[in-house]
Amino acid sequence: MNKTSKEIAVKILKANNYKLTKQRQSLLNILAIHEDRYMELTELDQLMRQEYPKMSYNTIYRNIKEFSEIGIVEENQNENDGKTEVKLDCNERHTHHHHFICNNCGKVRELQMCPLSFFSEQLPGAEITGHHFELYGLCADCKQLMGEK
């Protein structure tokens, strides 16, 4: 039986000695519901405040940072407005990967290949210390819908 991303996230939290508080459980629930897309931190904040009205933005942000550090969520800077977005993105192997993000519906698709070797071949003698790579466009469903208009 395949584990859900939320189950894997809980396992990773516990393995890193984090308590599974009610707030963290709620945060994971929200992220799991929206697992197929990135969420802006402000949207996540609004949804969390529906359940925990007195919870501070700093508490949510700190938990997201911790989740990111242990490999439960990925953070992304939205290319259009620069706002930080997050997505539940964990697997037991936690392999390096990149994404295709639909500009219309926001769905995210994992890419299996990393293009870093292509660029490192063009930079002989250089030391690349990091990279961030994503593709943007229209997913097949949105492209089909827009073609039908």
For 40-75, the pLDDT digits (tens) are 888 999 999 999 999 998 999 999 999 988 888 888
Q: Rounded mean pLDDT of 113-139?
A: 79
For residue 99, say whether it is annotated as part of any ligand binding site: no
Helix, strand counts (H, E) of the chain: 6, 6
Report which of 36, 55, 35 is spatially closest to residue 45, judged by C-alpha positions. Answer: 55
**pLDDT band for position 83 (50/70/90)?**
confident
pTM of structure: 0.68
Q: Kindly state whether residues 31 and 75 are assigned to the same domain.
A: yes
Count of structural domains, the chain:
2
Q: Are residues 71 and 102 in the same domain?
A: no
Query: Which phi and psi angles does 22 have, rounded to 5°?
Result: -60, -40
pLDDT at 91: 60
- pLDDT: is 52 or 126 the higher one? 52
Residue 83 and residue 102 in one domain: no
Please report whether residue 93 resides in a domain: no
Considering the domain architecture, whether residues 104 and 84 belong to the same structural domain is answered as no
User: Is 96 labeled as ligand-binding?
Assistant: yes
Asked whether residue 95 carries a pLDDT value surpassing 70, the answer given is no
139 labelled binding-site residue = yes
Whether 83 and 10 map to the same domain: the answer is yes
Is residue 67 classed exposed, middle or buried when 0-12, 13-18 and 19+ CB atoms within 10 A define those classes? buried
Q: Is 105 annotated as a binding residue?
A: yes
